[in-house]
Amino acid sequence: VTGTNAVGSGTGVLNNAVSPLNTTLSSGKYYLQDNTRGQGIFTYNANNKSSLPGTLMSNTTNAFTTSTDKAAVDAHFYAGKTYDYYKSTFGRNSYDGNGTSLKSTVHYGSKYNNAFWDGTQMVYGDGDGTTFIALSGGLDVVAHELTHAVTSSESNLTYQNESGALNEAISDIFGTVVEFKTQSSKADYLIGEDIYTPNISGDALRSMADPTLNGDPDHYSNRYTGSADNGGVHTNSGIINKAAYLISAGGTHHGVTVSGIGIDKLGTIFYRANTTYLTSSSNFSQARAAVVQAASDLYGSTSAETTAVKNAFTAVGVN
């Protein structure tokens, strides 16, 4: 809408206070439209139907605190935080580098246990209340979805088999990096922990530190070779996620010891690989070469950072 910039507040999915919320005042209504980032961040309500984008969320108070508002508040606020990470760390203006507006829709479908980037926008279900609560309530989830958009604009890794698992792992990696940079006190190497199984504590949709906790492989010898889930893109991502975890935090895996280099450098190295070396058809072995080259460019071919990358990929059986 055309209007003036305003600053409101709200309540998130976990009943947390959210402020500031960048909104737009137009004709006496406040809209979830943030004009301060790129060409804008817009958050819509699908009203539990499946037509997109739905209706731009608004109210007359600029306080977004109703139960319907909560998923939208987090989608809006967390999209802004993810935008900020890419802009302040890499100078990247929105997912395509051109400031293209970020659109999110919440309350998609009925009890929908999914979140996705549809090629144009982010979409979040409410969850069924047992497997998931509203999925935009997790910062790592929002950053995961927005990173699919970044990947589509850069390497454009084909969403199946090994390239698809790389696509997934890159989204998990940046979901986690953004969480560490933005919510440092509650950051972890778990994915979706804030919105997964509300009745079970300590679990998550995936673990980068130990993918086997969710039955996903942490070594290439255990990769899934079937056709389910586009050839296991959310399963075989565990192999790359484990390598990423080792690069950042260090550890010994299958007898190979990695000296961790920290979460910031993990993000910087994978960002360069995704924007400079990976292509749509890259497989795991080619990804190793891409990430090694990115580390070498950034820190030197004999650096501790490049050594950590090599050892981490060796530890998960990718050569």
Ligand X SMILES: Cc1cccc(C(=O)O)c1OC(=O)C1CC1
Please give the residue ranges that form the binding site for ligand X (CB under 6 A). 114-116, 141, 144-145, 168, 175, 191-192, 205
The Cα-based distances of 111 to 107, 108, 143, 192, 224 in angstroms read 9, 8, 22, 17, 29
Residue 186's CB: how many other CB atoms inside 10 A? 11
As measured in angstroms, the least distance from the Cβ of 222 to ligand X is 20
Q: Which residue, 153, 193, 152, is CA-closest to 176?
A: 193
- Is 254 among the catalytic positions? no
Residue 128 to residue 114: CA distance in whole angstroms: 10
Q: How far is the CB of 194 from Zn ion (least distance, A)?
A: 16
CA pair distance 78, 62, nearest whole angstrom: 18
Q: Which is nearer to Zn ion, 244 or 308 (CB)?
A: 244
> CB of residue 154 vs Zn ion: minimum separation in angstroms?
15
| Residue 10 binds which of ligand X, Zn ion, none (CB < 5-8 A, kind-dependent) | none
How is the chain split among helix, strand and coil, in percent rounded to 5?
40, 20, 40
Catalytic residue, chosen from 145, 154, 193, 305, is: 145
Q: Which residue number, 46 or 294, has a Cβ lying nearer to ligand X?
A: 46
In 236-303, which ranges are continuous DSSP H helix?
A: 237-249, 263-272, 284-299
Please tell me the distance from the alpha carbon of residue 318 to that of residue 306, in angstroms, as a whole number. Answer: 15
Helix/strand/coil for 139 = helix
- Return d(Cα 18, Cα 166) in angstroms, integer: 33
* Residues in binding contact with Zn ion, number by CB under 5 A: 1
How far from each other are the two terminal CA atoms of the chain, in whole angstroms?
52
Q: How far is the CB of 56 from Zn ion (least distance, A)?
A: 25
Polymer length in residues for the chain: 319
Peptide bond into 53 cis (omega under 30): yes
Nearest approach, Cβ of 132 to ligand X (angstroms)? 7
Q: Which is nearer to ligand X, 69 or 145 (CB)?
A: 145
Question: Which of Zn ion, ligand X, none has residue 114 at its interface (CB below 5 to 8 Å by kind)?
Answer: ligand X
User: By Cβ distance, which residue is nearest to Zn ion?
Assistant: 171
Alpha-carbon Rg for the chain, nearest whole angstrom, is: 19
Per the annotation, the verdict on 145 as an active-site residue is: yes
Q: Which does 116 bind (CB under 5 to 8 A by kind): ligand X, Zn ion, none?
A: ligand X
Q: Are 293 and 278 in contact (CB under 8 A)?
A: no
Nearest-approach distance from CB 228 to ligand X, in angstroms: 13
Between 144 and 265, CB nearer to ligand X: 144
Q: Which is nearer to ligand X, 144 or 223 (CB)?
A: 144
The answer to whether 151 contacts Zn ion (rule: CB under 5 A) is no
Per annotation, catalytic residue among 144, 148, 234, 253: 234
With CB cut-offs between 5 and 8 Å by kind, which of Zn ion, ligand X, none does residue 205 bind?
A: ligand X
- Distance (Å, whole) CA 103 – CA 142: 12
Stretch 161-180: interaction string toward Zn ion, x if CB under 5 A? ----------x---------
Q: Which does residue 192 bind out of Zn ion, ligand X, none, counting CB within 5 to 8 angstroms by kind?
A: ligand X
Q: 272 touches which of Zn ion, ligand X, none (CB within 5 to 8 A by kind)?
A: none
Identify which of residues 237 and 248 has a Cβ nearer to Zn ion in the complex. Answer: 237
Binding site for Zn ion (CB under 5 A): 171
Residues annotated as part of the active site: 145, 234
